[in-house]
């Protein structure tokens, strides 16, 4: 079953089309990686899925609910707040620069949304926070502030916070790009663990080897279009298109 | 001037200090929330709302406070023959004035919070008000505390302007005592009182800043 369908997505910034007609789908339990050169709109796709950017064309369907209600004069009309809020909670987001809340402990970072958005009680929230942090190997940092954590720990805390609201899909926007090289491994390992537990994920990454290991499918994007799609090992080891070959040359 | 006389003057001035502190505290209680509201509205995407707020801040910061005080108290009388309590007029004038300055401080603080904080809040399902109250505002307070302390210190001294429309605060007593006794001593005593108050305010703000040092 498809938990996420992106249909003919279009997005422009100041009249320049950044995303030109991109479609893909993600099945329950599947990990999709989005590869491609910088500045080709990979992050923008995730931002549209998270409703951080408004689309200019196409549609995004999450677990059967459609973000766009209709088109009027070829302008998208979004569905009502209730539907969008429901969709919002089905999608988690892990940011490149973590975006933890610096004034709150790691535990509070995780608990606040549980308390204020999902209206869960204190004990249940703490239980969920502990579980998420245990999974990310951060239970000993539960009462630390983000500024006391290393980059890798911050990102794992970011993943834990996203996991805690139990979304159907977790989007990760270059989760290791702001990390020192020696800290990349621990974050990739944590993501791999989620993949092995069949958490549905869409990951934008430049870590080619990781992509091959973790993903069930991959799309390669350049100039706002899908150049190639399929099994990650096929795209990475036997790219068909010239554009893909050029890109991968730099990594392998 | 003997010591008894000085103590007596100090006592008389002290009896006006209550009014000065009342103006100070009531102004803070109303002008800080109002300042936050103005800061948020000034950032509004609605051009009319943000335009009105810009005009408000421009008028208040662009004209002398003494004019504003006189206007607030006398304009209703000249225009509608409506007169009201002087103390209330002072509070209104002070709140309107200080809210404009607080608004600018809060606005700079709000704008300095990275967009990612709003975005993370949004993807976690918080609504805008929750993001502002739970995530943005606490961080803003830490950033703007030094600027706020400047305004608060200026406020305690500015309460002396209340005498313009005849509110009997401490400094009006000092001036009266000064001319009555033909002496500078009452003014020096008044200065001493302000100094002590500012000293206490500074200590409180230092404590607050220390308390917020737990994160960076």
Say if the Cβ atoms of B125 and A93 lie within 8 Å. Answer: no
Helices (H), ranges, chain B: 3-42, 47-62, 65-80, 86-111, 115-123, 128-130, 137-158, 170-181, 185-211
Residues in A closer than 8 angstroms to B139, CB to CB, are 101-103
State which residue of chain B sits closest to A164, comparing Cα positions. B124
Measured between beta carbons, the chain A residues lying within 8 angstroms of B214 are 145
Q: Which residue in the set B114, B119, B125 is minimally distant from A52, CB to CB?
A: B119
Name which of A99, A117, A147 is nearest B120 (Cβ-Cβ): A99
Sketch the domain layout of chain B as residue ranges.
3-215
Report yes or no: A189 and A17 within 8 Å, Cβ to Cβ. no
B120 vs chain A: nearest CA distance in angstroms? 6
Q: What is the mean pLDDT of residues A29-58?
A: 94
Confidence of residue B103 (pLDDT cuts 50, 70, 90): very high
Around Cβ B176, how many Cβ atoms within 10 Å? 16
Q: Is the overall model pTM greater than 0.90, yes or no?
A: yes
Q: Mean of the pLDDT values across residues B23-41? A: 98
Return left, alpha or beta for A41; rule: phi > 0 is left, psi -120 to 50 is alpha, else beta.
left
Rounded-to-integer distance, Cα A1 and Cα A53, Å:
26
Shortest CA gap B135–chain A (Å) = 7
CATH classification of B3-215, choosing from 3.40.190.10, 1.10.3720.10, 2.60.40.10, 1.10.10.10? 1.10.3720.10
Express each pLDDT in B54-72 by its tens digit: 999 999 999 999 999 999 9
The confidence score (pLDDT) of residue A252 equals 62
- Interface ipTM: 0.94
Report residue B39 as tokens: 């800061």
- Return the closest-CA partner of residue B173 out of B184, B161, B187: B187
CB contacts, 8 Å: B113 with chain A: none
| A70-92 confidence digits (pLDDT tens) | 999 989 999 999 999 999 999 99
């Amino acid at each position: 079953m498809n938990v996420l369908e992106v249909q003919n997505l279009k997005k422009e910034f100041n009249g320049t089309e950044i995303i030109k007609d991109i479609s893909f789908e993600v099945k329950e339990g599947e990990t999709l990686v989005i590869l491609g050169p910088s500045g080709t709109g990979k992050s923008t796709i995730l931002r549209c899925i998270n409703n951080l950017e408004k689309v200019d064309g196409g549609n995004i369907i999450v677990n059967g609910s459609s973000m766009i209600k209709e088109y009027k004069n070829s302008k998208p009309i979004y569905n009502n707040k209730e539907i969008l809020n429901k969709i919002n909670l089905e999608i988690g987001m892990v940011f490149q620069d973590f975006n933890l809340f610096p004034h709150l402990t790691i535990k509070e970072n995780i608990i606040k949304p549980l308390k204020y958005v999902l209206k869960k009680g204190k004990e249940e929230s703490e239980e969920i926070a502990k579980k998420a942090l245990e999974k990310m190997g951060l239970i000993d940092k539960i009462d630390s502030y983000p500024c006391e954590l290393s980059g890798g720990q911050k990102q794992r805390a970011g993943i834990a916070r996203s996991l805690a609201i139990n979304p159907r899909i977790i989007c990760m926007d270059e989760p290791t790009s702001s990390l020192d090289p020696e800290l990349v491994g621990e974050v990739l390992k944590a993501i791999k663990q989620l993949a092995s537990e069949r958490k549905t994920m869409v990951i934008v990454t430049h870590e080619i080897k990781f992509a091959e290991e973790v993903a069930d499918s991959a799309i390669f994007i350049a100039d706002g279009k899908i150049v190639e799609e399929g099994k990650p090992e096929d795209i990475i080891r036997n790219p068909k298109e010239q554009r893909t070959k050029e890109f991968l040359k730099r990594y392998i | 001037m003997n010591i008894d006389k000085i103590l007596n003057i100090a006592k008389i001035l002290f009896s006006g200090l209550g009014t000065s502190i009342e103006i100070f505290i009531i102004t803070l209680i109303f002008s800080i929330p109002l300042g936050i509201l103005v800061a948020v509205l000034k950032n509004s995407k609605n051009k009319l709302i943000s335009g009105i707020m810009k005009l408000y801040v421009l008028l208040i910061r662009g004209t002398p406070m003494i004019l504003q005080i006189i206007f607030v108290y006398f304009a209703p009388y000249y225009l509608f023959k409506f007169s009201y309590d002087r103390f209330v007029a002072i509070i209104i004038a002070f709140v309107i004035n200080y809210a404009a300055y607080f608004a600018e401080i809060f606005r700079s603080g709000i704008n300095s919070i990275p967009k990612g904080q709003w975005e993370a809040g949004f993807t976690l399902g918080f609504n805008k008000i929750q993001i502002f109250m739970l995530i943005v505002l606490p961080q803003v307070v830490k950033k703007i505390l030094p600027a706020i302390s400047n305004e608060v210190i200026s406020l305690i001294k500015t309460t002396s302007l209340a005498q313009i429309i005849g509110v009997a605060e401490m400094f009006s007593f000092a001036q009266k005592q000064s001319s009555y006794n033909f002496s500078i001593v009452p003014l020096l005593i008044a200065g001493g009182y302000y100094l002590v108050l500012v000293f206490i305010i500074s200590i409180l703000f230092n404590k607050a800043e220390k308390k917020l040092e737990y994160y960076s």
